[in-house]
C-alpha cells in the first residue's frame, strides 16, 4: 500500500484586461475569504506583493499599506484548479487545426508531449480564466492506451514558458471500451489485449532501464524516446493517469500498478462505489468524472453522489471539467463543485476539490490551491456564493497580476 504521505511527498485571451503593475501591490478584501488552510475569514484581507501572497488575515488586524490597489468582493477563494482538462490542446473551433488532443496513429504513444501543442492564446483559456480558473492540468485526452503526456500550466501569462508549472505532468492513459480499436483486425480489440500491450511495453522499458545503467558506454542502448518516457513511469517520476470507469478495469489498473510499482492517478472511476475498499487501500488519488458526463455505456454507474462517497471513505479526490467531444470542448469545474455540494459534500469540501486537493494530487500544492503567505497570488473573486448559478466571478488574479476585473 502506498501511503498518502508518500503520495503527497512525490511532486509532481483575447479579451484580457491586465492592470499594468510592474511590481504588483494589491489588496483583496472579501466579506468572506476562504483560505483552505483553516476556517474562513469574515471580512478578510489578502495582501499581494509581486507574484506572491504577502499576508492573509482579518481586516481589523491586517492594514492595507498606502499605494496598494484595493479590490473588493463578497467571496474570495484561491484560484481554481481544474484537475483534468484538454483546454488549450483541444480548441474552441472544433476544427482539424485546433484538435490535437488525440493522435490515432498508434495505441501507445507516451513520447507525445502536450507542451508541444498547447495553445495559450486559445479563447477557451481566456474563458475559463474569467470563471476563476487559474491553473489547468491539461493535455492529451482519453481514447488510447497511452495518448501522450499532460502538463500543469497557469492560465496567465500567455507566454507558455512563463506560465508552465509542470511541463511533463502525467501520462494520459485509458483502459476501457473507448481505448479499443474500431477496426476488427487492429489491436487492441479487447481489454485483455490492452493490458497485455501495456505490460509488454513496460517490460521493454524495464529492460531498456537496465541497459542504460551499464557503465560501459558502448553497451548502452541508443536513445529511444518511447521507452525513455516509460522509464520515468517505472521510476515513479511521472505518474500514469488512467481514465478508467468500470470496476473490473479499475482492478486491472491496480494490479498493473502493483506489478510494476507504478504511481497511478485514477481518473473517471464511475464504478468507484463498487471498489471503494480497493481504491482506499491502494493509496492512489482519484480525479472524479464530471457530473455532466452522460451516464451510459461504461459510465452507466456515474453518480452525482460519488464525490461524497469518496470523501467519506477518506480517499483524496478532485473534480474536473474533463473532455467533451462537442463544442466548447470543456465543462465548467465550478459547476461540477456546485453539484457535488448539492449531493453530499459540504461547501468547503467541494471547494477543496477544485483548489487544494487537485494541487496536492498534481504535486503543485506548494504554489497553488490555498491562500497563505509565500504561495502564488492566485485568487478568484465572486459577487456571491460561488456555487450559486446567479453569482459571477468578478475578478481573477494570477501570480499577482489582475487579469480580470469585472464580470465578463
CATH number assigned to the domain comprising residue 256: 3.20.20.140
In a domain, 221, yes or no: yes
Residue 247: its pLDDT value, please?
Answer: 97
Compute CA 46 distance to the chain's CA centroid, rounded to the nearest angstrom. Answer: 25
In a domain, 70, yes or no: no
Q: How many Å apart are CA 270 and CA 289, to the nearest integer?
A: 7
In a domain, 40, yes or no: no
- Here the cell at position 186 is 487492429
Compute CA 178 distance to the chain's CA centroid, rounded to the nearest angstrom. Answer: 21
- Here the cell at position 233 is 513511469
- 8 Å CB contact between 26 and 71: yes
In 116-232, DSSP assigns E strands to: 133-139, 146-154, 164-166, 171-174
Sequence-separated (6 or more) residues with CB below 8 Å from residue 315:
276, 279, 280, 285, 286
pLDDT tens per residue, the chain (408 residues)?
A: 444 444 444 444 323 344 444 468 999 999 999 999 999 999 999 999 999 999 999 999 999 999 999 999 999 999 999 999 999 998 888 788 888 888 989 999 999 999 999 999 999 999 999 999 999 999 998 999 999 999 999 999 999 999 999 999 999 999 999 888 877 778 899 999 999 999 999 999 999 999 999 888 888 899 999 999 999 999 999 999 999 999 999 999 999 999 999 999 999 999 999 999 999 999 999 999 998 788 888 889 999 999 999 999 999 999 999 887 776 778 899 999 999 999 999 999 999 999 999 999 999 999 999 999 999 999 999 999 999 999 999 999 999 999 988 776
In a domain, 391, yes or no: no
In a domain, 299, yes or no: yes
Residue 408: its pLDDT value, please?
Answer: 65
Sign, CA dihedral 402-406-407-408, equals negative
- Here the cell at position 120 is 495559450
Helix, strand, coil shares of the chain as percentages rounded to 5? 30, 25, 45
Least Cα distance to 128 among 151, 161, 156, 100 occurs for 156
Residue 293: its pLDDT value, please?
Answer: 82
Q: Is 148 helix (H, G, I), strand (E, B) or coil?
A: strand
Q: How far is CA 391 from each of CA 229, 335, 387, rounded to the nearest angstrom? A: 44, 11, 7
- The residue segments making up the domain with residue 255 are 4-12+79-369
In a domain, 232, yes or no: yes
In a domain, 30, yes or no: no
Q: How far is CA 315 from each of CA 4, 21, 61, rounded to the nearest angstrom? A: 9, 41, 37
Q: What angle do CA 174, 180, 186 make, to 5 degrees?
A: 135
Compute CA 10 distance to the chain's CA centroid, rounded to the nearest angstrom. Answer: 16
Q: How many Å apart are CA 265 and CA 243, to the nearest integer?
A: 9
Residue 11: its pLDDT value, please?
Answer: 42
In a domain, 200, yes or no: yes
33 bridge partner residues = 41, 76
Residue 342: its pLDDT value, please?
Answer: 96
Residue 9: its pLDDT value, please?
Answer: 43
The total number of structural domains in the chain stands at 1
Residue 362's H or E segment, with its range, is: none
Amino acid at each position: 500500500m502506498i501511503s498518502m504521505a508518500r503520495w503527497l511527498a512525490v511532486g509532481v485571451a483575447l479579451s484580457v484586461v491586465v492592470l499594468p503593475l510592474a511590481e504588483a501591490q494589491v489588496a483583496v478584501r472579501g466579506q468572506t475569504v476562504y483560505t483552505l488552510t483553516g476556517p474562513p475569514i469574515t471580512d478578510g484581507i489578502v495582501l499581494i506583493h509581486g507574484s506572491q501572497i504577502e499576508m492573509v488575515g482579518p481586516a481589523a488586524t491586517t492594514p492595507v499599506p498606502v499605494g496598494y490597489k484595493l479590490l473588493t468582493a463578497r467571496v474570495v477563494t484561491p484560484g481554481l484548479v481544474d484537475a483534468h482538462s484538454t483546454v488549450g490542446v483541444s480548441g474552441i473551433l472544433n476544427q482539424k487545426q485546433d484538435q490535437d488532443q488525440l493522435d490515432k496513429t498508434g495505441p501507445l504513444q507516451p513520447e507525445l508531449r502536450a507542451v508541444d501543442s498547447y495553445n495559450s492564446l486559445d479563447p477557451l483559456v481566456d474563458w475559463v480564466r474569467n470563471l476563476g480558473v487559474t491553473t489547468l492540468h491539461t493535455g492529451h485526452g482519453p481514447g488510447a492506451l497511452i495518448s501522450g503526456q499532460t502538463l500543469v500550466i497557469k492560465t496567465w501569462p500567455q507566454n507558455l514558458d512563463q506560465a508552465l508549472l509542470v511541463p511533463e505532468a502525467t501520462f494520459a492513459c485509458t483502459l476501457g471500451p473507448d481505448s479499443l480499436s474500431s477496426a476488427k483486425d487492429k489491436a487492441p480489440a479487447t481489454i485483455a489485449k490492452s493490458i497485455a500491450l501495456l505490460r509488454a511495453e513496460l517490460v521493454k522499458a524495464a529492460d531498456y532501464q537496465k541497459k542504460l545503467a551499464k557503465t560501459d558506454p558502448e553497451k548502452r542502448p541508443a536513445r529511444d524516446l518511447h521507452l525513455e518516457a516509460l522509464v520515468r513511469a517505472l521510476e515513479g517520476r511521472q505518474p500514469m493517469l488512467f481514465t478508467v470507469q468500470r470496476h473490473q478495469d479499475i482492478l486491472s489498473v491496480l494490479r498493473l500498478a502493483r506489478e510494476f510499482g507504478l504511481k497511478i492517478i485514477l481518473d473517471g472511476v464511475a464504478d468507484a462505489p463498487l471498489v471503494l475498499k480497493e481504491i482506499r487501500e491502494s493509496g492512489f488519488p482519484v480525479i472524479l468524472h464530471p457530473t455532466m458526463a452522460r451516464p451510459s455505456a461504461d459510465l452507466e454507474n456515474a453518480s452525482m453522489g460519488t464525490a461524497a462517497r469518496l470523501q467519506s471513505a477518506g480517499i483524496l479526490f478532485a473534480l474536473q471539467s474533463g473532455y467533451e467531444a462537442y463544442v466548447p470542448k470543456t465543462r465548467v469545474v465550478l459547476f461540477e463543485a456546485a453539484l457535488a455540494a448539492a449531493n453530499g459534500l459540504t461547501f468547503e469540501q467541494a471547494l477543496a476539490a477544485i483548489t487544494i486537493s487537485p494541487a496536492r494530487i498534481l504535486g503543485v500544492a506548494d504554489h497553488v490551491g490555498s491562500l497563505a503567505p509565500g504561495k502564488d497570488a492566485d485568487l478568484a473573486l465572486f459577487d456571491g456564493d460561488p456555487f450559486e448559478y446567479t453569482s459571477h466571478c468578478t475578478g481573477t488574479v494570477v501570480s499577482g497580476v489582475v487579469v480580470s476585473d469585472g464580470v465578463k
